[in-house]
Amino acid sequence: MSVLILGLLIFLGSHSVRIFAEEWRKARIARMGEMSWKAAYSVVSIIGLALIVWGYGMARREPVMLWSPPAWTPHFASVLTLVAFILFPAAYVRGNHFKSLVKHPMAISVVLWALAHLLANGTLNAVLLFGAFLVWGLFDFAAARRRDRVEGIVYPDGSLSRDLIPVVVGVVAWIAFAYFLHESWVGTKPMG
């Protein structure tokens, strides 16, 4: 479990610099240059992610059950993850309704993904992993909205034609992952 926790601290810690230490981040970028900062940030993130994957895999070998999820949770989780898969690409598509409504669809995507998996899994390692991402996503969303207010950022109204891109990409990615990739990559088959 310690490898999982270390990975979470490194990965979510590096992704929390903008939440908790924006001025420090800006000073590092000014000193190092944006490309060097992004390279260092990416290396740290990859190390953290690798430790999360490794640690979660090790913890799954001897799971500690905290509760047995009710029978309805996988179905509810599939709906939440579908929405999460649509919101994630919406963060990169300008002028869509998802972005104009929630402002930071990627953060909400992470929250929904984590909540779905938290509800559908009752093991200690799942609670640590998905609970950490859920809390981080909420903090990230709140910090991003606060930055928007301070910087006066306004999100333009979306158009239906721009909504199609994240919907199509999200649905196709969700189908691919839920029906095919989840089992081979994660070891569990959520659908079928």
pLDDT in tens, 139-185: 999 999 999 999 998 888 888 999 999 999 999 999 999 999 888 88
The pLDDT, as a whole number, for residue 184 is 86
The pLDDT, as a whole number, for residue 189 is 84
Of residues 189, 78, 186, 59, the one with CA closest to residue 123: 59
Are residue 192 and residue 127 in the same domain, yes or no? yes
Of 62, 79, 94, which residue sits at a domain end? 62
Are residue 51 and residue 96 in the same domain, yes or no? no
The pLDDT, as a whole number, for residue 118 is 96
d(CA 103, CA 96): 10
Are residue 89 and residue 130 in the same domain, yes or no? yes
Are residue 54 and residue 80 in the same domain, yes or no? no
pTM of the predicted model as reported, rounded to 2 decimal places? 0.91
Are residue 115 and residue 183 in the same domain, yes or no? yes
Are residue 67 and residue 42 in the same domain, yes or no? no
Which tokens hold the place of 33? 């240059």
Are residue 98 and residue 191 in the same domain, yes or no? yes
Owning domain of residue 32? 1-62
Are residue 88 and residue 159 in the same domain, yes or no? yes
Helix (H, G, I), strand (E, B) or coil at 164: helix
Structural domains counted in the chain:
2
Are residue 184 and residue 132 in the same domain, yes or no? yes
Q: Which residues, 6+ apart, have CB-to-CB distance to 178 below 8 Å?
A: 78, 81, 190, 191
Q: Kindly write down the DSSP assignment for every residue of 33-94, as one continuous string.
A: -HHHHHHHHHHHHHHHHHHHHHHHHHHHHS--BS-PPPTTHHHHHHHHHHHHHHHHHHTTST
Are residue 74 and residue 58 in the same domain, yes or no? no
Of 24, 42, 62, which residue sits at a domain end? 62
The pLDDT, as a whole number, for residue 105 is 97
Q: Enumerate residue ranges in the chain where pLDDT < 70.
A: 192
The pLDDT, as a whole number, for residue 192 is 62
Are residue 118 and residue 144 in the same domain, yes or no? yes
State the helix-helix crossing angle for 73-90 and 105-120, rounded to 10 degrees: 160
* Residue 103 DSSP symbol: S
Are residue 37 and residue 120 in the same domain, yes or no? no
